[in-house]
Amino acid sequence: MNTAEQTGTDLISVLHQGQRLLTPLPAALDWLIPLRERGAQGVAAMRLPGRKDEAWRYTSLAFLEQAEYRPLIEGPFDALQLDDVDEMLLNGHEGDRLVFVNGYLAPALSALGGASGGVVVSALAGGLGEVPASLRARLGEIAEQQHPFSALNTALMSDGALIHVPRGVASEKPIEILHVSVGTEQTGICHPRHLIVLEEDARAEIIERYCSLGDAVYFNNVSIEVSLGAGSELVHSRSQEESQNAQHLSDLQVRLGERSRYRLVLASLGGAWSRSDVRVTFEGEGAEAELDGLMLARDKQLNDVHLDIRHEVPHCSSRETFKGILDGKGRVVFDGRILVAQDAQKTDAQLSNDNLMLSRSAEVDTKPQLEIFADDVKCSHGTTVGELDGDMLFYLRSRGIPQVQATQMLCQGFAQEVLDRLPSEALRARTGKVLAERLNQTAA
């Protein structure tokens, strides 16, 4: 109920506005109608989560009251030149690159043809030709709508990368999905939607990145579905470098078939408000998941990661290593749930969350959780919160390194364990650089 005087965002209004913009839908996109309908129903049925909802206990949605978010429309961003985004591109990237500007594919900025034989790279809105039936069938079948934002994404999804790696195909080069956000007059909300399907014994590497031009104001409401067939392997890097005035909410849901391997490295460095939900469901035996993450929260940033690792079948293993660095009035919220179902015997699940607080006004709320219903399992979690170790600082200073530099070196060292897991050299270098810059900006 938005009156003229009242600011604030009501998701139902956003839904209706978005639906209006999407009408009429080009015939080629008719296939999305039932899915969008399902999303719309979800938005109407689910209320906005609040502090009483366990999963949102520490994560405030107050920012929705401060501005009126409007769906982003495909704007005059075709005018965006390669030069404008040059600084964001990864050096030496040879594989396919899909660039989305404010949620819509920008063919002029993208580079295709680098993927190896058989890999199907398509765009939701049809920008790369008709979306093949194999992908159409899978969209919306992998993820469950967890909250009204994921339902909103399903109802209003703008565009996104749909990647299909057929049986036995190994994609030789990593595929990059780059989001560039450009500020508009209003506070825009956009809904990128990605789908990654690997068939039996397929292999691929995906690099998913979020950058912005300047300190734009916007809300990226992202949904990513990943399905790994038996014996397949996916290496998935996600780098979130959103503007310091933006909101970023991503819902990543992964289903692992037997003997498949999923590796995720998440570097969440930007945004005024950022939340990454990652759900990994083991559907076949003998599968493995390794998740590493780095969360940076400084100034008044909120950085929230919620993991939901579901061992529903036996003989799978999972390992999560998440690190938070806080400065200024930054806040890190971490929730790492490991669920082991009754028949999921021989599960091996380990989780750790370590948080480094660099300032007096920072705050950490961490909750690693274990829900175990099977007995022949090995499960553990550990979490620490603290500041830089005095012994370590002294060691560096006693060698002549000044306090400020010593602090930076140790922070970098703390983050390095996660950064080292990024398979792309270029991404590792860039992320290290961005991290250093952002830490320097608030160095005492």
Partner 1 sequence: MKLSIKNLKAEVEGKEILKGLDLEVGPGEVHAVMGPNGSGKSTLAHVLAGRAGYTVTAGEVTMDGEDLLGLEPEQRAALGVFLAFQYPVELPGVNNTHFLKEALNAQRRARGERELDSVAFLKLIREKLAMVSMQPELLKRPVNAGFSGGEKKRNEILQMALLEPMLAILDETDSGLDIDALKTVSDGVNALRSPDRSVILVTHYQRLLDYIEPDFVHVLADGRIVRSGDKSLAKELEKKGYGWLTGKDEAA
Partner 2 sequence: MDITHSMNTTPKNIDELVAEGYQHGFVTDIETDVIPPGLDEDVIRFISQRKSEPEWVLESRLKAYRHWLTMDEPKWSSVHYPKIDFRAISYFAAPKQKPALSSLDEVDPELLRTYEKLGIPIEEQKALAGVAVDAVFDSVSVATTFRENLAEAGVIFCSISEAAQEHPELLRKYLGSVVPHTDNYYAALNAAVFTDGTFVYIPKGVRCPMELSTYFRINAQNTGQFERTLIIAEEGSHVSYLEGCTAPMRDENQLHAAVVELVAMQDAQIKYSTVQNWYPGDAEGRGGIYNFVTKRGDCRGDRSKISWTQVETGSAITWKYPSCLLRGEGSVGEFYSVAVTRGMQQADTGTKMIHIGPNTKSTIVSKGISAGKGHQAYRGLVRMAQRAENARNHTQCDSLLIGDRCGAHTFPYIEVKNPTAKVEHEATTSKIGEDQLFYCRSRGLSEEDAVSLIVNGFCKEIFNELPMEFAVEAQKLLAISLEGAVG
**Applying CB under 8 A, which residues contact partner 1?**
389-392, 394-403, 405-406, 409-410, 412-417, 420
Range list of β-strands (E), 4-150: 69-71, 97-101, 104-105, 120-123
Residue selected from 362, 415, 435, 439 as contacting partner 2 according to rule CB under 8 A:
362
The Cα–Cα gap between 154 and 45 comes to 14
403 binds, among partner 1, partner 2, none (CB under 5 to 8 A by kind): partner 1
245 binds, among partner 2, partner 1, none (CB under 5 to 8 A by kind): none
**What is the SS3 assignment for 316?**
coil
Considering only residues 384 to 443 of the shown chain, the ones binding partner 2 according to CB under 8 A are 384-387
Q: 403-419 vs 425-441: helix axis angle to the nearest 10?
A: 150
The two structure tokens encoding residue 233:
């392997």
186 binds, among partner 1, partner 2, none (CB under 5 to 8 A by kind): none
> Quick one: which of 191, 297, 293, 192 has its CA closest to 244?
297
Of the candidate spans 7-15, 86-94, 285-293, 375-383, the one that interacts with partner 2 by CB under 8 A turns out to be: 375-383
130 binds partner 2 (CB under 8 A): no
- Hunting for tokens 């979800």 — which residue is that? 42
Check: CB of residue 250 under 8 Å from CB of residue 226: no
Residues 6 or more apart whose CB falls under 8 angstroms from that of 17 comprise 70, 71
55 binds partner 2 (CB under 8 A): no
The Cα–Cα gap between 179 and 102 comes to 7
412 binds, among partner 1, partner 2, none (CB under 5 to 8 A by kind): partner 1
Residue selected from 73, 372, 392, 393 as contacting partner 2 according to rule CB under 8 A:
372
* Total residues at interface with partner 2 (CB under 8 A): 35
Of the candidate spans 243-251, 271-279, 296-304, 383-391, the one that interacts with partner 2 by CB under 8 A turns out to be: 383-391
- The enclosing H or E element of 41 equals helix 33-45
367 binds, among partner 2, partner 1, none (CB under 5 to 8 A by kind): partner 2
Residue selected from 48, 370, 393, 409 as contacting partner 2 according to rule CB under 8 A:
370
Which residue, 253 or 355, is less far from partner 2 as judged by CB?
355
**What is the 3-state secondary structure of 157-176?**
CCCCEEEEECCCCECCCCEE
- Hunting for tokens 């030496």 — which residue is that? 92
301 binds partner 2 (CB under 8 A): no
- Residues found near partner 2 in the complex (CB under 8 A): 326, 342-343, 345, 355, 357-360, 362-387
